[in-house]
């Protein structure tokens, strides 16, 4: 079993839909990262959080430390949101543990 599990692996949505991507982890962490990667492209850091909730534009990230679970929500989804979303957790070292990613396709 991977230390960081994401679900779903693939997600197709219609433009405007509310989207949720989940991340569960089994190790102690200092912070959890949500990352976005467009096809063939570099990675953009969306959020880093260690408790509670953060919001940036149409994106919301939450984390429940006791349950070792985080969610990434996208409101009013748009085709430009189509990308791979990666959850990664970090502990006491400079090494992040990555989930396998969620491939999101938002259709117009």
Partner 1 sequence: DTEVTQTPKHLVMGMTNKKSLKCEQHMGHRAMYWYKQKAKKPPELMFVYSYEKLSINESVPSRFSPECPNSSLLNLHLHALQPEDSALYLCASSHGRSGSAGANVLTFGAGSRLTVL
The contacts of residue 9 (CB under 8 Å, 6+ apart) are 100, 101, 102, 103
- Of 17-25, 57-65, 73-81, 97-105: span binding partner 1 (CB under 8 A): 97-105
Q: Strands across the sheet with 69-74, in order?
A: 4-7, 19-25, 69-74, 59-64, 52-56
Stretch that binds partner 1, among 53-61, 63-71, 73-81, 99-107 (CB under 8 A): 99-107
The smaller minimum CB distance to partner 1, of residues 54 and 58, is found at 54
Tell me the window of 37-45, 51-59, 65-73, 74-82 that interacts with partner 1 (CB under 8 A).
Answer: 37-45
**Based on CB atoms, which residue is closest to partner 1, 9 or 107?**
9
> Do 104 and 87 meet the contact criterion of CB atoms below 8 Å apart?
no
Please state the length of the chain: 108
Residue 51 CA to residue 70 CA, distance in Å, equals 10
Shortest distance, CB of residue 40 to partner 1, whole angstroms?
Answer: 8
The answer to whether 79 contacts partner 1 (rule: CB under 8 A) is no
């Amino acid at each position: 079993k991977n230390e960081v599990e994401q679900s779903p692996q693939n997600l197709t949505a219609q433009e405007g839909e509310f989207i949720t991507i989940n991340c569960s982890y089994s190790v102690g962490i200092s912070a959890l990262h949500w990352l976005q990667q467009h096809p063939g492209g570099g990675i953009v850091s969306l959020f880093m959080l260690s408790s509670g909730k953060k919001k940036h534009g149409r994106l919301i990230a939450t984390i429940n430390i006791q349950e070792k679970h985080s969610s990434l929500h996208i409101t009013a989804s748009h085709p430009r949101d189509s990308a791979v979303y990666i959850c990664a957790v970090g502990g006491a070292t400079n090494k992040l543990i990555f989930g396998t990613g969620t491939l999101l396709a938002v259709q117009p």
